[in-house]
Structure 1
Amino acid sequence: MLATCCRLPRARLVRCYSTTAPPIFELRTYNLIPQHAATYLEGSAVHGNLRKTHLPLLFFGTVETGGQLNTVQHLYKYPSLEARDDARKAAAADPNWQMWLKLSRTCVERTQSIIFNEAKAVLDANSLPGADGHRTDSKGIYEFRQYQLRLGYPTVPNFLKFYGAGLPSKLAADKRAQLVTLLYSDLGPLNIVIEIWRHDSPSAMMDSRVASREATEWKTAIGNIADLAHSFQNTILIPQSFSPWQ
């Protein structure tokens, strides 16, 4: 794991990558067979509480636009890889979970799992609670903003340096959008960074974009980040009824 410092607002040096093992976030992406998508979603809702009994689910949503349709993404937080393995083994031993897995596999065309770390230094520097502190009282939408950065050890630390420098101006200009978390990949395709924002509605998301254009430091940061990135994609996801994040 990299151990590199990044420069954040007020010229404050902070460590972007923890020297101790941080909690891990697993993002699982399932591409559903279109004719079986409804069956999968209905079954997921029926077994939602069972999933949360065994697995530390944070978010479960479907792609609305901006990505491949008939796709679900679910995000989990574990203390460690070992804890993930233990939880999944315990779930696999439950006969009811086994029955659901057997049915669900007939609905899924492709699966992907990527392990991420949370960029706590950037979030803490902006007094943001990150994934642990995210609470919602009503249903909204989630915007996953994904960057595929070029390879190289300094690329992600440089991203976090630029992002951390520009984020305060964006937050000041846009009071409604919530930055839920900021993640960078650790296992799987490397040098992926994902911002997860919550908005009250699609129109609120567009209002957020307009407001961000008034944030000079944020625009500078995005310009610097563009030089680091191979590609960028933003996707809107709708949380399902049993998702802890709504």
Structure 2
Amino acid sequence: MSEETNKSTKGHVPFKRARRWAREGREQTGRCRHASRHQRRRSRRRVLPQPASARSSVAALFPADNFAHRTEVRKAVAKDKEWQQSVVPNLALIDEQETEITYLVPWSKLEKPAKEGVYELVIFQMKPGGPALWGDAFKRAINAHVDLGYSKLVGVFHTEYGALNRVHVLWWNESADSRAAGRHQSHEDPRVVAAVRESVNYLVSQQNTLLIPTSFSPLK
């Protein structure tokens, strides 16, 4: 999708991604918490995996069948007294919240890992023009990593509302160390190098974040 248009999403499966930055030292809520202590920084360099957000940052994914379903859920939650009693007192702990609605790209399936591990959320800000411009090259780069088998692809999501031309890729790894070993292996694989070299021509920026599921997360 280009930056100039926001067309109907009939048949899409939108996801809501919310990130909350709680004040350091206080209790935080959400599905996953970031493991890094580094503050998020923006860079003008083309390909630079940026440090994770503050350690008190939380990322949550909320699935919805469609926009009507999402609206119904939001209305029901707004009337839920138990939800209000648990959430409203914690609003003072939230410094910032960012919400995006994304859809699962047609060539990706939502997969749930069979066992516990850690997750890596990679956010790619691509050039204007949408998947029609860079979609095929991006798919080849992702599949090149998948073929190596060191990490499991959970899902690939393209932003429908929010920052356009942005793709969220969620990976599962058995551990942070296995992820690091796999990445080193991929850097030496000519197939991965060739695919990434093609896709990077359409890349504006990239941010990688290590996520650890909370005790109540369905992804635990």
Residue 231 of structure 1 is matched in structure 2 by: 205
- Distance, in Å, in 2 between the alignment partners of 1:215 and 1:117 is 30
Counterpart CA distance in 1 for 2:62 and 2:214 is 15
The answer for the alignment partner of 1:7 in structure 2 is none
1:85-234 paired onto structure 2 within 5 Å: 85-121=71-107, 123=108, 130-131=109-110, 133-138=111-116, 140-151=117-128, 153=129, 155-173=130-148, 175-234=149-208
Whole-angstrom CA distance in 2 between matches of 1:203 and 1:158: 35
2:15 to 3, 19, 25: 25
Q: CA, structure 1 residues 218+158, in 2 after alignment: closer, same or farther (shift >3 Å)?
A: farther
Report 1:51-66 matches (<5 A).
60-65=31-36, 66=51
Q: Which segments of structure 1 move beyond 3 Å, counting only runs of 4 or more?
A: 166-169
Structure 2: runs of 5 or more not aligned: 3-7, 37-50
The superposition leaves residues 111-162 of structure 1 with CA deviations (integer Å, 9 ceiling, x where unpaired) of 11100111122x3xxxxxx22x314322x111111111122x3x43333201
Q: Aligned with 1:157: secondary structure?
A: helix
Letter in 2 for 1:211: Q
Q: CA deviation at 1:19?
A: 7.8
Structure 1 residues 199 and 81: alpha-carbon distance in aligned structure 2, compared to 1, 3 A threshold: same
Distance 1:166 1:111, change over 3 A: closer
Q: Distance in 1 between matches of 2:22 and 2:102?
A: 23
CA distance in 2, matches of 1:178, 1:90: 34
Unaligned runs of 5+ in 1: 3-17, 45-59, 124-129
Structure with more of its chain in helix, by fraction: 1
2:53 to 56, 68, 72: 68
Alpha carbons of structure 1 residues 243 and 136: separation in structure 2 relative to 1, 3 Å: farther
Q: Deviations over 1:77-133 (max 9, x none)?
A: 101112111101111211110111211201101111100111122x3xxxxxx22x3
Note the aligned Cα RMSD (angstroms). 2.2
Cα pair 1:165 1:217 within 8 Å, conserved: no
- Distance, in Å, in 2 between the alignment partners of 1:19 and 1:94 is 28
Q: What is the alpha-carbon distance in structure 1 between the residues aligned to residue 168 and residue 212 of structure 2?
A: 17
Q: How many residues align?
A: 201
CA 1:78–1:144: 2 relative to 1, 3 Å: same
TM-score, normalised with respect to structure 1: 0.75
Question: Quick check: 1:170–1:215 contact (8 Å CA) kept in 2?
Answer: no
Q: Using the alignment, how far apart are the partners of 1:108 and 1:184 within structure 2?
A: 26
Q: Flag the 1:134–1:120 CA change in 2: closer, same or farther, 3 A.
A: farther
Task: Using structure 2 for the length normalisation, give the TM-score.
Answer: 0.83
CA contact (8 A) 2:118 2:174 kept: yes
